[in-house]
């Protein structure tokens, strides 16, 4: 079962970080191996402020962004088809298992949403999960507890070894077909609240701001269009001419701020040439690129007034420089051709997937999507067969995996084009990149993920866990004698399930499903999640259970720092040697320190030797004092953790060891 093992010695007395706002009922100690005690740091390219506890996966940037030159291939599966089935289909077709999956849920979550999300994450093979959260009830009724609850699911997914979540809240808010559409202020406010919860509670999950492509905006006549006289009108009438039309910006009013956006997302489908849709037609030439670039002109009209989404939001020159995700995409094929059209499903899909994934020229006049958009770093294909009202209630097949020959051709065309396998990343490559463990030979206790498909991270004891296809509790006599100790076979990638109110014991889970509940202890044998607790006998219980409640709190509601309603400039740390760090007193490079030369100059360097640095140009050769400049931080002890003034916390090694002596304050 397990072969030779490599144990990594942990540094004794290493400080560990707690989350800036802990999950309800949980108290994880999170080690920070990439810059201990960095408090608030900013990725200088994308301006997302991240709290101290947030840590990136190896090989990935903030918000699970893959490195330049890589694009995550993902799938939006049919409701009754789990991600594990999609992965199996793609592998059998000669392709790659997707490196991401999307699920649609309502927010606030209903009981069915909680169950679906839990099961979806369990089947997602630890890949990134895009959670498309839809506020069908009312955006303005969303509570902080709703955001905390959803962030809690993402946190528990991370703790089970999952890559994390990308929360896509109120998608296509610039459309006119959902209750949350064309209400900029309400959208921005609630988006920022959700971003605060995700960034505070999770270690690496992120936010996706996801619009519908702007050709056709403002989609006049839609059920949820903003009308003149409504409070939203002054916001959507961006040119101030008193008319809401295609000359108004379809994106800018809804942008919530660089500090809360990890990805920008866009929906682009090929529905056909003209509404009402349903005729089976090949996509228009260069349709995909033109829709994103704002260059569309065709049978549906002239929309060259639409802003260039990619330039504005994804390029350095546009000012935002965010990675782009194609959050939904496919091309229409009406099953049975009820409204005519001679194009086959294969021809339609092949034309579209090459427009999207192609790395060369798309005739007659454009590059294909992969070549045109280097910051296109995520593609989520809508792999669903369903009736579409916009296609005259025809059954539309949007899928590429549900037909074997379609899946084979898709894998062949996309991956075997020049540069295809280097650009498009599946789950296996992602797992290698993030440092998942090889079978039998590496400890998977920390990552909880495995490189080999079909393997699971099983725990032996507190000192060892390994990736294996199966595990039998007890001693494995195939191991060398010195390692023949019992295996517990606990699945470390199993996602913790929280407790339902009153009917489940929360003594172990210490987390709850219902917002507003707290885990209260009755006695050593029982604890339950309730909205409140009064010490003593609860006469509403069945007589045989009427023993006193101690009401000791085993959990506490999560506290989320409230984000300002508008973007505020975060501290911008300094680049090595080229910028003065005298004011910022912090460095973008994790291994650098801000050293003072004199009253006129300080900069970030890996080390500093007092005196003259003869490697500098002669006119700069004055002595370095090498005084270290940093922002002093004072932490006050509260419940075993030091609480800092930036809402960040440090849990000491003493706490982990249950030591009794801990200093009351700590200055760093």
CA distance 243 to 275: 24
- Domain presence at residue 395: no
pLDDT at position 7: 28
Neighbours of 509 (CB within 10 A): 21
When pLDDT is cut at 50, 70 and 90, the band that residue 511 belongs to is low
CA distance 554 to 526: 11
pLDDT at position 118: 92
**Residue 292 or residue 567, greater confidence:** 292
Residues of the chain with pLDDT > 90, as a percent, come to 66
Domain boundary among 538, 570, 602: 570
Same domain, 207 and 60: yes
pLDDT at position 514: 59
Residue 14 has pLDDT above 50, yes or no: no
pLDDT at position 559: 45
- Domain presence at residue 188: yes
Comparing 449-463, 482-496, 516-530, the range with the smallest average pLDDT is 516-530
* Cα atoms in the 13 Å half-sphere on the side-chain side of 572: 10
Same domain, 198 and 294: yes
pLDDT at position 597: 93
pLDDT at position 41: 28
- Is 49:42 a contact under the CB 8 Å cutoff? yes
Same domain, 449 and 561: no
pLDDT at position 31: 30
pLDDT digits (tens, 9 = 90+) for 95-105: 999 999 999 99
Domain boundary among 480, 496, 512: 496
Tokens of 395: 């059954």
Same domain, 535 and 470: no
Same domain, 422 and 450: no
pLDDT at position 649: 40
pLDDT at position 632: 60
Provide the domain count of the chain: 3
Q: Which residues contact 369 (CB under 8 A, 6 or more apart)?
A: 288, 289, 292, 326, 355, 356, 357, 358, 376
**Residue 474 or residue 651, greater confidence:** 474
CA distance 74 to 87: 10
When pLDDT is cut at 50, 70 and 90, the band that residue 10 belongs to is very low
Residue 416 has pLDDT above 80, yes or no: yes
Residue 501 has pLDDT above 90, yes or no: no
pLDDT at position 617: 77
Q: Which residues contact 605 (CB under 8 A, 6 or more apart)?
A: 576, 577, 592, 593, 595
CA distance 325 to 381: 11
Same domain, 91 and 200: yes
pLDDT at position 513: 57
Residue 560 has pLDDT above 80, yes or no: no
- Domain presence at residue 4: no
- In CATH, what number is assigned to the domain containing residue 426? 3.20.20.80
pLDDT digits (tens, 9 = 90+) for 612-623: 998 887 777 889
Q: Secondary structure of the chain: what % helix, strand, coil (to 5)?
A: 20, 20, 55
What would the mean pLDDT of 184-201 be, rounded to a whole number? Answer: 96
What would the mean pLDDT of 292-316 be, rounded to a whole number? Answer: 96
- Domain presence at residue 15: no
Residues of the chain with pLDDT > 70, as a percent, come to 81
Which is nearest to 131 in space by CA: 107, 111, 162? 107
CA distance 251 to 402: 34
- Domain presence at residue 52: yes
pLDDT digits (tens, 9 = 90+) for 18-42: 333 323 333 332 333 222 222 222 2
Cα dihedral: 303, 345, 328, 44 (round 10): -80
Q: Which residues contact 41 (CB under 8 A, 6 or more apart)?
A: 35, 50, 573, 586, 588
pLDDT at position 47: 46
Q: Count Cβ atoms within 10 A of the Cβ of residue 527 and give its class: 0-12 exposed, 13-18 middle, 19 or more buried.
A: buried
H-run or E-run covering 326: strand 324-329
Residue 166 has pLDDT above 90, yes or no: yes
Name the region of 225 (left: φ>0; alpha: ψ -120 to 50; beta: rest).
beta
Q: Count Cβ atoms within 10 A of the Cβ of residue 221 and give its class: 0-12 exposed, 13-18 middle, 19 or more buried.
A: exposed
pLDDT at position 275: 87
Same domain, 564 and 473: no
H-run or E-run covering 104: strand 101-106
When pLDDT is cut at 50, 70 and 90, the band that residue 502 belongs to is low
CA distance 382 to 74: 9
When pLDDT is cut at 50, 70 and 90, the band that residue 285 belongs to is very high
Comparing 65-69, 128-132, 416-420, 582-586, the range with the smallest average pLDDT is 582-586
Query: Looking up tokens 């006599």, which residue turns up?
Result: 477
Name the region of 321 (left: φ>0; alpha: ψ -120 to 50; beta: rest).
left
**Residue 515 or residue 196, greater confidence:** 196
- Domain presence at residue 339: no
- Domain presence at residue 35: no
Tokens of 376: 């296109």
Q: Which residues contact 314 (CB under 8 A, 6 or more apart)?
A: 264, 320, 321, 322, 323, 324, 373, 375
Query: Looking up tokens 């998942």, which residue turns up?
Result: 436
pLDDT at position 626: 95
Domain span at residue 143? 46-276+285-332+375-382+418-430
Tokens of 90: 């793609």
Tokens of 62: 């903030």
DSSP 8-state symbol, 71:
E
Over the chain, what is the mean pLDDT? 84
Residue 588 has pLDDT above 80, yes or no: no
Same domain, 96 and 62: yes
- Domain presence at residue 425: yes
Same domain, 84 and 136: yes
Sign of the dihedral defined by the CA atoms of residues 656, 658, 659, 661, in that order: positive
What would the mean pLDDT of 338-351 be, rounded to a whole number? Answer: 97
Same domain, 317 and 454: no
- Is 98:83 a contact under the CB 8 Å cutoff? yes
Which is nearest to 63 in space by CA: 199, 254, 200, 212? 199
Domain boundary among 530, 550, 570: 570
Residue 594 has pLDDT above 80, yes or no: yes
Comparing 375-389, 498-512, 546-560, the range with the smallest average pLDDT is 498-512
Cis peptide leading into residue 364 (ω within 30°): yes
Q: Quick one: three-class SS letters along 440-459?
A: CCECCCCCCCECCCCCEEEE
Residue 69 has pLDDT above 60, yes or no: yes
pLDDT at position 53: 54
Same domain, 121 and 249: yes
Same domain, 491 and 560: no
Residue 325 has pLDDT above 90, yes or no: yes
pLDDT digits (tens, 9 = 90+) for 219-266: 998 999 999 999 999 999 999 999 999 999 999 999 999 999 999 999
């Amino acid at each position: 079962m397990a072969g030779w093992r490599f144990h990594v010695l942990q540094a004794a007395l290493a400080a560990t970080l707690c989350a800036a706002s802990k999950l309800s009922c949980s108290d994880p100690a999170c080690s920070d191996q990439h810059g201990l005690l960095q408090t608030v740091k900013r990725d200088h390219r994308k301006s997302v402020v991240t709290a101290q506890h947030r840590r990136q996966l190896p090989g990935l940037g903030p918000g699970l962004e893959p490195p330049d030159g890589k694009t995550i291939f993902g799938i939006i599966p049919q409701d009754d088809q789990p991600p594990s089935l999609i992965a199996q289909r793609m592998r059998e077709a000669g392709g790659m298992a997707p490196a991401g999956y999307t699920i649609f849920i309502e927010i606030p979550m209903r009981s069915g949403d909680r169950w679906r999300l839990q099961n979806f994450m369990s089947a997602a093979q630890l890949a990134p999960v895009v959670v498309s959260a839809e506020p069908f009830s009312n955006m303005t009724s969303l509570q902080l507890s709703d955001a905390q609850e959803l962030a809690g699911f993402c946190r528990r997914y991370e703790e089970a070894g999952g890559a994390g979540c990308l929360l896509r809240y109120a998608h296509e808010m610039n459309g006119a077909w959902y209750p949350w559409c064309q209400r900029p202020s309400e959208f921005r406010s609630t988006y920022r609240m959700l971003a605060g919860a995700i960034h505070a509670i999770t270690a690496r999950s992120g936010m996706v701001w996801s619009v519908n492509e702007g050709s056709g905006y403002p989609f006049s006549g839609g059920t949820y269009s903003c009308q003149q006289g409504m409070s939203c009108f002054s916001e959507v009438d961006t040119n101030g001419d008193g008319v809401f039309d295609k000359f108004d910006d379809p994106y800018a009013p809804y942008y919530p701020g660089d500090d809360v956006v990890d990805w920008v997302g866009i929906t682009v489908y090929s529905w056909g040439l003209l509404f009402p849709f349903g005729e089976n037609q090949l996509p228009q030439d260069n349709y995909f690129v033109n829709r994103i670039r704002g260059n569309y002109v065709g049978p549906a009209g002239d929309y060259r007034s639409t802003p260039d989404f990619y330039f504005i939001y994804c390029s350095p020159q546009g000012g935002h420089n965010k990675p782009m995700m194609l959050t939904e995409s496919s091309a229409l094929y009406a099953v049975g051709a009820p409204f005519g059209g001679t194009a086959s499903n294969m021809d339609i899909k092949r034309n579209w997937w090459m427009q999207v994934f192609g790395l060369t020229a798309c005739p007659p006049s454009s590059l294909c999507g992969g070549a045109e958009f280097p910051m296109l770093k995520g593609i989520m294909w809508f792999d669903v067969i369903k009736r579409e009202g916009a296609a005259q209630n025809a059954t539309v097949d949007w899928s590429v995996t549900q037909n074997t020959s379609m899946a084979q051709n898709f894998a062949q065309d996309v991956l075997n084009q020049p540069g295809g396998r280097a650009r498009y990343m599946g789950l296996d490559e992602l797992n290698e990149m993030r440092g998942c463990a090889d079978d039998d030979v590496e400890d998977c206790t920390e990552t909880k993920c495995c490189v080999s498909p079909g393997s699971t991270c099983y725990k032996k004891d507190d000192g060892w866990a390994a990736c294996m296809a199966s595990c039998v509790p007890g001693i494995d006599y195939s191991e060398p004698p010195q390692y023949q100790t019992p295996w517990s076979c606990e699945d470390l990638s199993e996602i913790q399930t929280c407790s339902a109110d009153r009917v489940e014991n929360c003594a172990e889970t210490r987390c709850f499903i219902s917002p507003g509940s707290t885990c209260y202890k009755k006695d050593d044998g029982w604890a339950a999640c309730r909205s409140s607790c009064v010490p003593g006998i609860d006469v509403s219980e069945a007589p045989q259970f009427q023993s006193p409640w101690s009401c000791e709190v085993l959990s506490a509601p999560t506290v989320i720092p409230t984000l300002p309603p508008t973007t505020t400039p975060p501290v911008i740390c300094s680049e090595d040697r080229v910028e003065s760090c005298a004011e910022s007193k912090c460095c973008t490079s994790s291994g650098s320190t801000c050293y003072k030369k004199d009253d006129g100059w300080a900069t970030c360097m890996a080390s500093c030797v007092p005196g003259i640095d003869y490697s500098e140009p002669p006119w700069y050769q004055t002595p370095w004092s090498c005084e270290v400049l940093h922002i002093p931080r004072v932490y006050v002890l509260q419940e075993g953790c030091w609480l800092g003034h930036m809402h960040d916390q440090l849990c000491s090694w003493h706490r982990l060891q249950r030591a009794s002596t801990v200093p009351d304050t700590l200055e760093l």
